[in-house]
Amino acid sequence: MIGVSHASAALAARAARVAPGGVHSPVRAFKAMGMPPLAIAEAHGAHVTDVDGRRFVDWIGAWGPALLGHDHPVVAKAVVEAVSRGVVFGLASTHEVELSERITARVPGCEMVRLVVTGTEATMSAVRVARAATGRSGIIKFAGGYHGHADMFLVSAGSGAATLGVPDSPGVTAGTAADTAVARFNDLDSVDRCFDDHRGAIAALIVEPVMGNMGCVPPADGFLEGLRDRCTRHGAVLIFDEVMTGFRVARGGAAARYGVTPDLITLGKVAGGGLPLAAFGGRRDLMELVAPAGPVYQAGTYAAHPLAVAAGLATFDVIDATPDLYEDLERTGDLLESSLQAVIAAAGVGAVVQRVGSMWTMFFSAGPVRCWDDAAAVDRAAHVAFFTGMLARGVLLPPSPFESAFVSMAHDQVPIAYTVEAARATLRDLRR
């Protein structure tokens, strides 16, 4: 295991005295990896450097926003210029209108949009709109799907294909959880059972069109189309949670990649260029229910924050100036995937690499992961050993077997070759 320096240990101890677990978001804790949190001092391009000066090839990518790589000069320049115009206004601005226009022009079915600050805020607001539009209270989500930490989303499916929600966190009431039914990803029969068991009560079905919070799990052929059909037949609102996939897996997100149009969509991460910005949008008739146009209340002092809007606009500028960006990301991702698969085959270990565009995960599993039941059965001990071996060799992977990794525009053949050789050496050590 990579050594923990005195400086890192001292910082972790200080943090633990003033923040729960020493971090401000649980996945940063590295607790499942058996080590203190890794504290980052700098991030540039495809690399991060920790407080001890150790440099790593970074495949976390800030959990998705770093599509262009860390500290892209166009984005950095735009933020500095925005600061010179004022840090925060609390009123409408020209640039937020431009960003809204650029989002709605890209995303299928997104006729209007509301800019917010976090993905959780976006998803909980989208569900509120769906409930108001339908006059119903129930929602369907998928086991292993993460939609932020609003109470209604913090439920798990247990071992059942589709079951009544059970609170997955203290502080979530049984009454709140009872409004959430949980289905199995890539299993339309489980979706049918949810609709049948709660006939006439489902306001919305919310789904990550490509699962990213149980590792990268693509939708099976016809699955998203099946969800669209069922929501239409049952009068429920189809919500695509594209906080992760939006502008990541295609220029118009997963809705564009798979040709399935939701009623509402949530966005974040890439849309803010690395600054706190998220959004929910969709059909005009649904979005016009949102205050002040309609009665569904949603508000925020920091919504459409000028610095985040500037970063988002600059990110779209770079995307638009790079017409082959998504094709290049696809090729880079394919090179990484095929190279790692070859290393896995040569090592004779039970592992598989799954990828959609620039999202990818290496699962320690004998077969493909298609739903949470498959993900929950992966070899977690092998993942920990692989993670620590790669970290010791200067490669930073997500500190969880259930998180997607990300390719960025800054990941050229050099960090890929370095990563592949580190994986070869690490898997060789694991076999000993």
Q: Report the catalytic residues.
A: 146, 241, 269
- Count other Cβ atoms within 10 Å, centred on residue 417: 13
Question: How would you classify the pairing of strands 163-164 and 138-142?
Answer: unpaired
Contact (CB, 8 A) for 139 and 205: yes
Residue 183, SS3 per DSSP: strand
Contact (CB, 8 A) for 120 and 150: yes
Nearest to 117 by CA among 303, 266, 270, 267: 303
Could you write out the DSSP letters of every residue in 59-85? SSGGGTT-TT-BT-HHHHHHHHHHHHH
What strand order describes the sheet that includes 202-207?
Answer: 112-116, 278-282, 264-267, 237-242, 202-207, 138-142, 180-183, 163-164
Q: Residue 70: phi, psi to the nearest 5? A: -75, 145
- The helix (H) or strand (E) run that includes residue 355 is strand 352-356
Contact (CB, 8 A) for 329 and 220: no
Contact (CB, 8 A) for 230 and 188: yes
Q: Rounded to the nearest 5 degrees, what angle is found at the Cα of 27, between the Cα atoms of 338 and 385?
A: 50
Taking the C-alpha atoms of residue 401 and residue 382, their distance in angstroms, rounded to an integer, is 10
